[in-house]
Structure 1
Amino acid sequence: MEKKKKSIISASLTVETSLVLPVFLIFFAVFLYFIQIFILQEKLQQVITDVGLSYAKTAYFYSDFLNIDEAKNFDESFLDEELREELRIFLDAAGYAGMIKYAVKSRLNEISFNSSCIAGGLEGINFDCSKVMQGSDDIDIVASYKVRIPIRFFGLPEIDMIQRVRLRAWSGLKLPPLYSVVEDDDKSKDKTVYVTESGSVYHLDINCSHIKLSVKAINQIPTWQRNNNGGKYYPCESCIKGEHPETGIYFITAYGDRYHIKEDCSRIKRTIRQVSLSEVEHLPPCKRCKGG
């Protein structure tokens, strides 16, 4: 009787072990999988931050140019090799978001990421929503990707992940001088300049692209088009409210990043006034046309 009792106890322990052990192993494997995800996220975040800081540093030099084309045609011979290379990489990123992906990939271990839980490996990381100084001094690097689930429970899809770093370009702050030289000749003060109703700068050239916008009409939402800086177009917050049709007449500008449903939208309409420089001495000159 005692022998029979011992064998029953032993059998019950075996059954319990066979039920509990697989559950424990599954939870342990899931725990290790999430640890791997956290490690990859930490590596990726560190790299996109390094890339953003590199762009922010180079932006100080780029801020002296009017546009990307002028910077690309600049004589780089007097720059040292490191700064020359950083400027080239920055200009490529400002004109095309795909170059941001290239800069990030060059800093990561391709083998470890391609064999990781990220769907598609390094190629599965998308940077299309990134912007480098497009309409502002912001450097916004956005990395989006999907994480594979090792065991599909109840048809769960891949997990969407987004990592982001947003920095301000180190373009410097130009303070107004504490004193000014007074000249006997007042001709400079009588110089004609141009301002807009809500402008915060004055312009020396009436054809400056900041005030003379090139408005173009298109017959559908510009999902595939890019502006001259390589950026996407988004709906204007001023003239487009809520849902709007895919096709129809919309208006875009060469350097803007919004599309408009009204040609006279306040965001693209400029009322230009011609004034003397002495009237707007308190305003700084436009960086784009200050060279005349």
Structure 2
Amino acid sequence: MPFQKMKICLDKFISNYLHFGKNKSGIKRDNWIDSKGNERKRCSLFDSAALKSSIKRHCHQSSGKVSLCASFNKKASLAVETALVLPLFFLGMVTLISFMDIYKVQTEHLQVLCEKAKEAGTYACIPGGKGPKEITLPDIYSYTPVGSLIPLPKIQIYNRVKVHTWTGKSNEGDFQDGEPAEEMVYVTETGTVYHRNPGCRYLRVSLEQLSGSGIATARNSNGEKYYPCESCSRNQKPAGIVYVTRRGNRYHNQETCSRLKRTIRLVKISKVHGMGACSLCG
């Protein structure tokens, strides 16, 4: 090998170099004369073993073949680790994707089955209570695994949903058994009376158009004077045409005023504190 020959030659060179000029103690000491004619002593600060070890270490570091072998060993070790880890990583990812896909498919089938079971429970209600009390619907379907490295057979999946048949709805509301139902009445947001009849004419807003110049002398059904509406006519003069109601005491410059809208609510009669009954329907 070229490297071994070079190493042998280098060892011989080091031996000859260290042998030249050595004294009995093994330390190189010889005299030499400088350019001015003065005699000086030369002393080597290292012995043969230290020099040989240093040169060998330098040779090992600077040798391209030795460094290439060390680098090749590291790369080979990394390639082996990669070959072992990558298949395990891909296998884990494929397994995770398969679990997610089968969960999605099963959830979709179960949702459809629940809707069908509720619908079947509604149709199964028979007057007289002679029908079944519970309905069970099965669902069987096949699933093909995704992302498998080898072909796998289809998997049979079985779902089952059990529901109680629909038995109707009670109109008693929040009232307990044996307790009489409380009367319900109709009220408005700004009204002072309650109404038992939803078709009472006082619940219907009947607008009338009057001339703005004659609103000062106009009166409502109770003989009251009309005043400007706080919502649409505040600090404004009457328009050419104003809108009024027979029982109200406000005139409106806009037909779309929010005060002209009647909001009717259905409440229990026990909740209308301080309100009197309507003179027409109460």
Query: What TM-score do you get using the length of structure 1 for normalisation?
Result: 0.30
Bigger CA radius of gyration: 2
Name the structure, 1 or 2, with higher relative contact order (CA <8 Å, separation 6+).
1
Query: What TM-score do you get using the length of structure 2 for normalisation?
Result: 0.31
